[in-house]
A and B are shown apart, each in its own frame.
Chain A
Amino acid sequence: MGLFNDLSANVLKSRVGITGAGILLCLVLVSAFTIIFIPLDTYKQWNNPSSWTLFPKSALPSWVNIFLAKKIPEHQILDNTSTTVQTGDNARKIMQSFETDYAFDYFPSDFIYQYTAKYQGTPVLEFDVTRPDGMTLHLLSYSLPNLKSRTVFSDKVFSTNESIRKNILLASDRFAFSIVSMPVEEVVFSKTDAHEVLKGKYTFVAKISTTDAQSIMDDSKLIIGGKVFGLIGTDEQRRDLAIGLLWGTPLALFIGITVSVVSVVSGLVYGVFAGYKGGKTDESMMRFNDIIYALPALPFLIILAVTISNSIFLMIGFLMIFGWVGIAKVSRSMALQIKNRQFVEASKAMGQKSSKIIFKHIIPQIMPYALASIAISVPAAITTEAGLSFLGLGDPSFPTWGQILHDASKHGAVTRGLWWWVIPPGIMITITGLAFVFVGNSLDTFRIKR
């Protein structure tokens, strides 16, 4: 293990090496965090639009508000803060309230109440809001559909609902301006004397009155629609981009490291074997190597992805096929030098098997070079996968960074100025690439020094 200690000491000695190792450590931690704490379901549901309906469409990241004088409303998905249940002999009232402190300078784009209830009969749903100025607006009275036996029912109430609109119009004398043609949310969140946002605490209360004493309400949410959301924002299909980027990290590391390790190791063994054997074996092995070397890789990867399958595991395999040739050439020439050294000749004279000589004596000598090339060839694998995904040839079931950029370009994110959709994935690709190049370079200087 002395070699590895030397190597890690060397990486940590140079400033570039420390930077690279530091970034790499961060990426590994992010991957571990994602795998442990982010539910696996979020990536399986990545391409399922119905699991993202609560999220806003193309929302900016929420930190942009720091730089803005007028704050853009944040998209809020509220769970109910309190549930009170009053049970009588033959009746039950369930009340759920949602609180939000609205401190933005623009009106929300809408609000949606999503609820799930288990009941029988025909309960009545009432929906009210109490504003910071103490005014209570009655939004909706609605009888839920009649159910003969106790069943689960879920539905959504949208702010564009026609009865909410009529109920609001009943309060038009309380406002100093005409609210007739205004969207509901702009009335609910408005000052009474002028059409401006009224900041402060809003409490939405949903009440279900039923004759069924055993009815239950759960899993209710109030969504106050905004235009900023989360750390990275959302895309056109309402997906939370932060989740996509987080899942992209372990995927990129997996693709990059698997491809480079397998191709470097197989190239190394191939090259050393050819160099050690020499003669006809060497000649024919190197001619085969030349042929693979001259094949145009990208067109082939594209044709393979189109005709065979775009599964991510097959793509990893294809990348390996084109990855080993360069390493094989270099390690062959290194083996040619090493095989004439005395200790190799000595073990040959002692009658050791050639496989033993190759693995025990020659390959350990080339190890520092191999480790450096593993690190240096990781970025190429990641960018090639990202490029193929960007062209739309990637595996759509995995949210890789290239896949996110492909979706972005498909929806014209660049020409529409949706920068938060385009910049972060590219930065992640670049940072990951740089980290490996830094580590690889500091390993390489170690090899040259030796």
Chain B
Amino acid sequence: MLLAVLSGFLLAAFAPLLTRMAGKSIGWLLAVLPASLTVYFASFIPQIQGGDALLIEYTWMPGLDISLNFLLDGLSLVFALLISGIGTFILIYAGSYLKGHPNLNRFYVIMLCFMASMLGLVLSDNLITLFVFWELTSITSYMLIGFNHEDMDARKCALQGLFVTVAGGLALMAGLILLAVMTGSYSLHEILNSSEALGSHGLYTAALICILAGTFTKSAQTPFHFWLPNAMAAPTPVSAYLHSATMVKAGVYLMARLNPAMSDGELWGQVLMLFGGATMLVGAYFAFSSTGIKKVLAYSTVMALGTLTLLIGVGTELAMTAFVCFLVAHSLYKGALFMIAGALDHETGTKDITRMGGLRHKMPMTALFGCLAALSLAGLPPLFGFIAKELLFEAVLEAPFWSTAATLAAVVSAMLVVGVAGLVAVKPFFGKPGNTPKDPHDAPLGMLAGPAVLSVIALLFGLLPFIPQNAVLLAAMQAVYGQPIDTYLSLWHGINLPLMLSGVSLLAGIGLLTLWPRLQPGLYAVNTAASRFGPEAGYFKVMEGITHIASWQTRVLQNGVLGMYLLIMVAITFGLTGYTLITRYGLHLSLQLGDSHFYEWGIALLLVVSAVFASSTHSRLGSVASMGVLGFAVALTFILFSAPDLGITQLLVETLTVILLVLVLFKLPEFVNLSSPFERYRDLTVAVFAGVVMVLVVLATLDIQYFESISSYYIENSAPLAYGRNIVNVILVDYRALDTLGEIFVLSLAALGVLSMLKLKAEDQHKP
């Protein structure tokens, strides 16, 4: 299992090499991995069919309670099958769609990484691991949306998607941690199996808000839906994969996964229904009023995501049945339609559906599968989409609350979706031939394989719904519902209210479709005018605000005057230390100078004199030299109080410091006194203050001892345990070796910083 999840990352490492070697057939070659993963996951069907959950355990960081455990039940298996199954066709499709693209190798690397992250996300049992994979999908999808990185627009859209989903991801992390605090476990199956009622827990609302902030942004719920249509800047294989079946469904997955644990609070259902319903309507409306074929599909995905959220919110047994069916149906037809859209774009040279028409003569196969998938989208029998839509109507009709509003919303959106399905199937393939930039042909095999298989599966599932139902769907429904479900999927339910609603929405949808050429320009104008107040405008306002704050704080805090930095750091550090010292300990001056020797007085005098000289002289060289004297005097102190190691180190460091300073010194301009007297007295005050506080702290540490000094332990144990008599060295390289390791890394970073600055300067000088 571990290998299955991580194999995508492994293959990604070899993808560039394979792309170079395999040439044109690379898509087919790489597709072997997801295809075999599909078979592998399918082999688990018998084990989880009855609603059991498999837990496959791998330890990762036991000390931090982070495991690589995988939870395989109906829900995660459905997702795993969708991810690897659709992934197979996407890889084949991409090989054909991006044929000869100079960055094809990079595309496959990121795509495989994305696939592996997505598998990890839906299979992880541990919340932290889940979150890691969650963020990996955000990052890889950022790179995929911005794949055409030379296009300014693509970069902007990719960044927008990243900001929205990662901001939500941060909230999600907080939410998952709160969830773990509430339940006392980071393991999903323990959380789901615990009998505790979370709804009455004090942290419930906070956890709910945080988790939903994460899932709503990821799954493009209103008002965060705007990033998804913009993400259509990605190449079509990416849209077909990320924005139909996988990444945007991650949020839906998590909501479904946590549903049994979270749904006992009333808030859960209400919030999900509210946002889901709103998203459904917004998505359906914008899908109907757009002209770019990918935008139409993207908004209809928003609609589908809203519907799924709504169904989780309804929360009844029937709603869960509808949820799982709608999820699978949507993944099948939307994946197929996106690939068809890409084929149209590829063959005709335009994305604008108003310019396409009558293509069924020139692209018969593309038209056939496109229409099949669109029928499923419209929810017409005998496709699987019909079953899903009927169940949706049934579920909202029987919703425990807000039933009328939800039904109304569902019917309106179904109506609009019929229109949308018409837009993507009828408009391009039927009617008068359009005027397209390229002379279209049927798409090549690689680009047709995906739509063909997916739409035929949608047809088969519709005709024979008991096959998927018995295989995994029932188990998935139970996983979402949290209790056993007994249901039977069928195409014909008799003449009932849902069927009538379907009929009404179909007729209204056809009506809308015929009106579309007249309605669309008006709707477009309204949308453009309204977009100034939309959520996307809010996003830009927020980003602008962040930039303003950043430049303001840089101006104030990072103004480049080193003296100021020092002043602030010293003042704050010693201010806080002094405050703590005075409030906690008070002022106790107990100095016993009786047993001091004359040479100690000598060294002290040397220290003071050299410090005063260093800060008052006008000669830089003199200042450096007296700093050196100061350092040597400190070294002498160490030696006097029998710390030879410290003494030697101090001597060497002082020597080298003086040398380094001298090297730098010759590059500096003439000494000029730039600071005003006020500034100098301010600096003096801060410096003296720091010195006084330090003296008080040292005196206080001599005076109080909260616990026994650890040095006796070192003295006793350093030779027998660590085979060394030099305690300082034993501490450095053995007892606290990790600290030292960290320190040499810090040292290296500092050195690299200096190196790059010197290099930068050298390059500056070479410039003409």
A joins B in a complex: no
